[in-house]
């Protein structure tokens, strides 16, 4: 079975979307006998320079395409030349690739079976909300019809896409690589929070500085690690926000950490913080649970669901951070020895091998229908 994964950003770019496709394709090749390959754009949005046209990443053949336009909707029509030799095309996220491959299929320019994974759609922030809604209910609604299956990567995505996908829709929640950060959190409770991922406005990292300020009023030993890479926020912007909150001396910034370095940083913390305005799934929160970190999360739907499923963590409203700080200090003071273990147990159901097997079943089902 030859499967082409189409995704706008891939390694060496780092992020939830990139990590998901890398894990999926690698496991398909290494453990399930699937010839999985990737086509992507030839540059990383946050870096200068052009990447090689061909490369092998973790055993995955990767082809990179030139593009133009905005990073919000990068245009790369040469993707059409890449799909012909594959049994099925798996498109990741809702963007130019999703629309272009749909409409070229309508026009008979290719006849490949296709599925798409939602990865949060394009509602990652409130920016251009009205325009996004119009696009979603017109262009996206039409494009969906070209796909054999629309796979929601979270129940939050499912609620969004059920309006336009009908019986094409199914849910396969994202997974994590269980051994990546498993059991990495500090073995002894510490008043340190870590957040990791992209420096993006919708992540509301600035609210963690406010929370830290409230915590330090209760105990001055509280501190925060902010690890990740600049996206639509710079390191300097976050440093300014930390200074404004009066917590600069208690915040450690680590830019572009490798996984080994990030694992060491997790070992200094007992809590994970993410007060994001939007997440399609919340991959970092699940990885944090696998490390044994106790999550402090905003009240968005994916995080409410995660907290309900695992029974671990605190949900925080932006306007009530003083109360959240009191609850977190009280939780820490209890020194519950089972809490760390419960966090790791909560992450156990999210395993990439199981997720990947489920996807391969979907591929086979779609291909069998096309064969009949």
pLDDT at 47: 86
Q: In whole angstroms, what is the distance from residue 263 CA to residue 180 CA?
A: 8
The mean predicted confidence, pLDDT, of the chain is 94
Over residues 63-78, the pLDDT tens digits come to 999 999 999 899 999 9
Q: In whole angstroms, what is the distance from residue 233 CA to residue 244 CA?
A: 16
pLDDT at 120: 85
Q: In whole angstroms, what is the distance from residue 342 CA to residue 347 CA?
A: 9
Cis peptide before 12 (omega within 30 of 0): yes
pLDDT at 231: 84
Q: In whole angstroms, what is the distance from residue 203 CA to residue 226 CA?
A: 12
pLDDT at 155: 87
Q: Which residue has the tokens 């949005």?
A: 45
Element housing 198 (H / E): strand 192-199
Q: Does domain 2-175+351-371 have CATH number 3.40.50.2000?
A: yes
Q: In whole angstroms, what is the distance from residue 355 CA to residue 352 CA?
A: 5
Distances (CA, A) of 90 to 21, 102, 203, 280: 10, 12, 28, 18
Terminal-to-terminal C-alpha distance of the chain: 17
pLDDT at 72: 87
Percent of the chain with pLDDT over 70: 98
pLDDT at 14: 80
The answer to whether residue 251 scores a pLDDT higher than 70 is yes
CB crowding 307-332: b at 16 or more within 10 Å, else e: beebebbebbeeeebeebbeebbebb
pLDDT at 132: 82
Confidence of residue 282 (pLDDT cuts 50, 70, 90): confident
The arithmetic mean of pLDDT across residues 196-210, rounded, is 94
Q: In whole angstroms, what is the distance from residue 182 CA to residue 122 CA?
A: 30
Over residues 304-315, the pLDDT tens digits come to 989 998 999 999
- Asked whether the beta carbons of 363 and 115 are under 8 A apart, the reply is yes
Joined together, the tokens standing for residue 99 give 């629309």
Q: Please state which of the four CATH numbers 3.30.420.40, 3.30.70.1710, 3.90.1200.10, 3.40.50.2000 is assigned to the domain occupying 178-347.
A: 3.40.50.2000
2-175+351-371 against 178-347: fold identical = yes
Ramachandran bin of 313, using left for φ above 0, alpha for ψ from -120 to 50, beta for the remaining angles: left
pLDDT at 129: 74
Where do the structural domains in the chain lie, given as residue ranges? Answer: 2-175+351-371, 178-347
Q: What values do phi and psi take at 367, rounded to 5?
A: -65, -35
Percent of the chain with pLDDT over 90: 81
Over residues 314-342, the pLDDT tens digits come to 999 888 999 999 999 999 999 888 999 99
pLDDT at 126: 53
DSSP 293: P
Degrees, nearest 5: CA angle 131-146-123: 30
Sequence-distant (≥ 6) Cβ neighbours of residue 334 within 8 angstroms: none
Distances (CA, A) of 211 to 4, 109, 158, 198, 282: 44, 54, 32, 19, 20
The arithmetic mean of pLDDT across residues 362-366, rounded, is 98
- Asked whether the beta carbons of 255 and 47 are under 8 A apart, the reply is no
Over residues 115-162, the pLDDT tens digits come to 999 998 765 555 567 888 898 999 999 999 999 999 999 888 999 999
Over residues 81-102, the pLDDT tens digits come to 999 899 999 999 999 999 999 9
The arithmetic mean of pLDDT across residues 188-201, rounded, is 95
Residue 201: CB atoms within 10 A of its CB come to 17
Distances (CA, A) of 312 to 2, 9, 248: 40, 32, 29
- Asked whether the beta carbons of 281 and 16 are under 8 A apart, the reply is yes
pLDDT at 178: 85
Instruction: Give the gyration radius of the chain's Cα atoms.
Output: 21
């Amino acid at each position: 079975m030859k499967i082409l994964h189409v995704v706008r950003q891939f390694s060496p770019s780092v992020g939830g979307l990139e990590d998901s496709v890398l894990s999926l394709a690698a496991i398909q090749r290494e453990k399930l006998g699937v010839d999985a390959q990737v086509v992507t754009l030839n540059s990383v949005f946050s870096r200068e320079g052009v990447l090689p046209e061909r490369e092998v990443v973790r055993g995955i053949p990767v082809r990179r395409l030139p593009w133009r336009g905005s990073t919000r909707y990068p245009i790369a029509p040469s993707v059409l030349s890449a799909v012909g030799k594959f049994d099925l095309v798996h498109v990741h996220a809702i963007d130019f690739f999703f629309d272009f491959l749909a409409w070229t299929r309508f026009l008979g320019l290719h006849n490949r079976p296709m599925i798409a994974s939602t990865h949060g759609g394009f509602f990652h922030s409130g920016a251009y909300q009205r325009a996004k809604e119009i696009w979603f209910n017109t262009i996206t609604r039409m494009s969906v019809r070209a796909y054999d299956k629309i796979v929601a990567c979270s129940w939050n995505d499912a609620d969004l896409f059920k309006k336009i996908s009908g019986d094409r829709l199914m849910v396969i929640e994202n997974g994590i690589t269980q051994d990546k950060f498993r059991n990495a959190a500090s073995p002894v409770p510490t008043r340190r929070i870590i957040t990791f991922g992209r420096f993006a406005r919708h992540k509301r990292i600035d609210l963690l500085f406010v929370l830290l300020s409230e915590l330090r009023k209760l105990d001055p030993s509280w501190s925060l690690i902010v690890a990740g890479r600049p996206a639509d926020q710079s390191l300097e912007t976050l440093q300014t926000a930390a200074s404004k909150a009066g917590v600069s001396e208690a915040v450690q910034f680590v830019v572009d950490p490798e996984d080994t370095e990030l694992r060491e940083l997790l070992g200094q913390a007992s809590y994970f913080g993410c007060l994001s305005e939007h997440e399609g799934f919340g991959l970092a929160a699940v990885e944090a649970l696998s490390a044994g970190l106790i999550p402090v999360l905003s009240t968005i739907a994916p995080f409410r669901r995660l907290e309900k499923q695992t029974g671990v963590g605190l949900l925080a409203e932006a306007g009530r951070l003083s109360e959240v700080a009191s609850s977190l200090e009280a939780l820490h003071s209890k020194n519950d020895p089972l809490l760390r273990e419960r966090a790791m147990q909560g992450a156990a159901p999210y395993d990439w091998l199981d997720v990947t097997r489920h996807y391969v079943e979907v591929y086979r089902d779609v291909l069998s229908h096309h064969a009949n």
